[in-house]
Chain A
Amino acid sequence: MPTIDVNGKPYETDEEGYLVNLADWNEDVANYIAKAENVDMSQNHWEVVNFLRKYYDEYQIAPAVRVLTKAIGKQLGPEKGNSQYLYELFPYGPAKQACKIAGLPKPTGCV
């Protein structure tokens, strides 16, 4: 298993850099993964990442894109409640890239 090294501590990941153990996640790890993805974490990014973790905690899956956009729209205003906004934050796709930074498993299937 590959690992990433954050503040001198190794964390196990899969081949694509998703954390293997959910409990390993912390903000430093998130920043590290984001940097490798060329994502510059702003307050807006953290809002999404925190929502993803909260949702995952309740449902054991990342939220559907529509659930996410609606929640972000409610929290941050309707102009941000759309997938275009999320793609601006996470260019490789909000579902996969944001999950990776949030330390969640990759959504699989025809997505």
Chain B
Amino acid sequence: MAAEVKAPPLRADPGAPQALVPGAMAELKPYVANDKMQQALGFPGELTDGWHERAIGRMGELLDKYRSLKVYMDACVHCGACADKCHYFIGTQDPLNMPVARQDLMRSVYRRYFTLPGRLFPKLVGARDLTKEVLDQWYSYYNQCSECRRCSVFCPYGIDTAEVTMAAKEIMDVAGLGQKYTNEILGKVHRIGNNLGLPGPALADTLEGLEEDVKEETGQDVRFPLDEKGAEVLLVTPSADFFAEPHVDSLIGYAKVFHAAGIRWTLSSHASEAGNFGLFIGNYDQLQKVALRIREAALDLGVKRIVVGECGHAWRVAYSYWNTLTGIGAGGEDPFARMLQQQLDSRYRQPTHICELTWDLIERGALTLDKDANDHRVVTFHDSCNVARASRMGDHPGGQFEIPRAIIRAVANKYVEMPRGTTREQTFCCGGGGGLLTDELLDLRVKGALPRMEALSQVASGHGVNFMATICAICKAQFTKVLPYYGFKMGMVGGVHQLVSTAIRLGPKQ
């Protein structure tokens, strides 16, 4: 590791205006994808001749295709409502991490090439040529936005900064400047089926080991089925659930819930990933290609329901985009989409979030729960950005906030909320989302976690909170890494279904 990474001090008054440190993060750049990683996704290998024309050309196409992007370029009045809402600005004090300033990096280029005043009098209207220096600045600062959309909640015009960041990443990819972490992973999904690069036999071996572990723990034959045709449910979950801690404890939780409810389920080695980094790089073709693997697996296995595990942006993609991307749900108009439509059971939400499934079972009294088993924990809940601000659960507005909390209250006695303004639709990003969960950005990740750590610190010292539950693989990995920088234990973060796993009682009803 390069320079020593240190957490910024917690602020005495988070509401007070912050000092600015211009250029504080100007040098921070994630590793660039090499030519093989780029070409595997159909992008130019590097910034070769013609990159400028490709970039401006793609920008024009995006402006034509997405009216929203054009509105976001034109509508901002620089009111400043978003300025202090970004966790990365709060943690770094770099003015270019104010959402408005980050968007203006693109807006100035937009004006130069796509507006009349900018073409004629660029200096008068703050229009800039897209030079290599400007592109480098884009690479630096668009890779310091986790696309969490907290700033958008406060924008009086509803400008979605994440969409601007996604467009910038797409333009850079087409120019030949891709980010290694996201683009290498997308290549692995196409080659192997998941972000980790976990091949089928390794997955099978891992699942077998989990069956042994749960048998030892509970005495019950809880299964972790793989590629079982005719199962009712296909579970797609982040591959981190197979590999990492604390993620795997939630996977065990899902398996116990299916077991207790008598639902026949399966995982798929073809679609062994819920995450979809196509969203992070704003590339529709990648988004669709990754999502189609799940449709292929569902058709192949003949399942009736598709359930999504604890992964924030996967749920956004599933809930908001699967319809038109793949025909799961409604809207897909090709023969395969229709086939899937007929195959899926219309009595259930398609897709279903694992929290919806578990909560339905709890409400029906189908699970035996021993809340006292979680008495060593005082729990709080961190809303993950993509679930909170880009999706829904259940039948009522705000279900994505209420259902995970309802599950926690059903499986644990001690639950505490973090301060208002840091949860629900105003939740702070963990600091590692949007394709930034990579080691060379650790300094940014630690700094970006500041506002969440301040909120956690309040309930930890005030109420003895020792467990922060979340329903996102990125949040879990990010907090495991950054909690120690703030003096917390890494084991303090875990999944909602980890709590379910602790409380659930298997075997014949008492």
A23 within 8 A of B: no
Known: A61-B197, A108-B185. A67 touches B206 (CB 8 A): yes
Q: Measured between C-beta atoms, what is the minimum distance from B372 to chain A in Å?
A: 24
A111 to B, closest residue via Cβ:
B244
B333 within 8 A of A: no
A14 to B, closest residue via Cβ:
B31
A83 to B247, CA, bound (A): 13
Stretch of B219-227, B341-349, B472-480 with 4 or more beta carbons under 8 angstroms from chain A: B472-480
Known: A108-B197, A111-B240. A64 touches B477 (CB 8 A): no
A109 to B477, CA, bound (A): 10
A78-111 near B? 1/0 per residue, CB < 8 Å: 0000010000000011011000000001011111
Number of chain B residues whose Cβ lies closer than 8 Å to a Cβ of chain A = 39
A65 within 8 A of B: yes
Q: Judging by beta carbons under 8 Å apart, are B245 and A65 in contact?
A: yes
Q: Judging by beta carbons under 8 Å apart, are A109 and B195 in contact?
A: yes
Q: Measured between C-beta atoms, what is the minimum distance from A51 to chain B in Å?
A: 14
Specify which chain A residues have a CB less than 8 angstroms from the CB of B238 in the assembled complex: 109-110
Within 8 A of A (CB), among B237-255: 238-240, 242-245, 247-248
B446-477 near A? 1/0 per residue, CB < 8 Å: 00000000000000000000000000011011
Q: Judging by beta carbons under 8 Å apart, are A64 and B244 in contact?
A: yes
Q: Measured between C-beta atoms, what is the minimum distance from B42 to chain A in Å?
A: 20
Q: Judging by beta carbons under 8 Å apart, are A110 and B477 in contact?
A: yes
Within 8 A of A (CB), among B104-122: none
A111 to B476, CA, bound (A): 8
Q: Judging by beta carbons under 8 Å apart, are B206 and A64 in contact?
A: yes
Per a CB cutoff under 8 Å, which of A16, A64, A83, A108 touches B242?
A64
Q: Judging by beta carbons under 8 Å apart, are A109 and B240 in contact?
A: yes
Specify which chain A residues have a CB less than 8 angstroms from the CB of B210 in the assembled complex: 66
Known: A64-B244, A66-B245, A96-B439. A109 touches B239 (CB 8 A): yes
Per a CB cutoff under 8 Å, which of A60, A61, A66, A92 touches B213?
A66
A15 within 8 A of B: yes
Known: A15-B31, A67-B205. A111 touches B243 (CB 8 A): yes
B188 within 8 A of A: yes
A67 to B245, CA, bound (A): 11
Known: A66-B210, A67-B206, A83-B245. A110 touches B199 (CB 8 A): no
Q: Judging by beta carbons under 8 Å apart, are A67 and B476 in contact?
A: no
B194 within 8 A of A: yes
Q: Judging by beta carbons under 8 Å apart, are A110 and B275 in contact?
A: yes
Q: Measured between C-beta atoms, what is the minimum distance from A109 to chain B in Å?
A: 3
B202 within 8 A of A: yes
B209 within 8 A of A: yes
Per a CB cutoff under 8 Å, which of A16, A66, A107 touches B196?
A107
A70 within 8 A of B: yes
B432 to A, closest residue via Cβ:
A110
Q: Judging by beta carbons under 8 Å apart, are A59 and B205 in contact?
A: yes
Q: Judging by beta carbons under 8 Å apart, are A108 and B195 in contact?
A: yes
Is chain B's interface secondary structure helix, strand, loop, or mixed overall?
Answer: helix
Give the residue among B1, B197, B205, B244 with the most A Cβ atoms within 10 A.
B244
Q: Judging by beta carbons under 8 Å apart, are B195 and A110 in contact?
A: yes
Within 8 A of B (CB), among A41-72: 59-61, 63-67, 70
Q: Measured between C-beta atoms, what is the minimum distance from B213 to chain A in Å?
A: 7
Known: A64-B243, A66-B210. A109 touches B194 (CB 8 A): yes
Q: Judging by beta carbons under 8 Å apart, are A16 and B439 in contact?
A: yes
Give the residue among B31, B180, B202, B247 with the most A Cβ atoms within 10 A.
B202
Specify which chain A residues have a CB less than 8 angstroms from the CB of B197 in the assembled complex: 61, 105, 107-108
Q: Judging by beta carbons under 8 Å apart, are B240 and A110 in contact?
A: yes
A15 to B, closest residue via Cβ:
B31
Known: A59-B202, A108-B184, A109-B194. A66 touches B248 (CB 8 A): yes
B440 within 8 A of A: yes
B202 to A, closest residue via Cβ:
A59
A83 to B244, CA, bound (A): 10
B198 within 8 A of A: yes
A56 to B, closest residue via Cβ:
B202
Per a CB cutoff under 8 Å, which of B180, B199, B206 touches A60?
B199
Q: Judging by beta carbons under 8 Å apart, are A67 and B209 in contact?
A: yes
Q: Judging by beta carbons under 8 Å apart, are A109 and B185 in contact?
A: yes
Q: Judging by beta carbons under 8 Å apart, are A61 and B244 in contact?
A: no
B239 to A, closest residue via Cβ:
A109
Q: Which B residues contact A (CB, under 8 angstroms)?
A: 1, 31, 180-181, 184-185, 188, 194-199, 201-202, 205-206, 209-210, 213, 238-240, 242-245, 247-248, 275, 311, 437, 439-440, 473-474, 476-477, 481
Q: Which A residues contact B (CB, under 8 angstroms)?
A: 15-16, 59-61, 63-67, 70, 83, 92-93, 95-96, 105, 107-111
Q: List 25 A-B contacts (CB under 8 A).
A: A15-B440, A16-B31, A60-B199, A61-B197, A61-B198, A63-B202, A63-B206, A65-B244, A65-B245, A66-B245, A67-B205, A67-B209, A95-B243, A96-B439, A107-B196, A107-B197, A108-B181, A108-B188, A109-B240, A109-B275, A110-B247, A110-B474, A110-B477, A111-B196, A111-B243
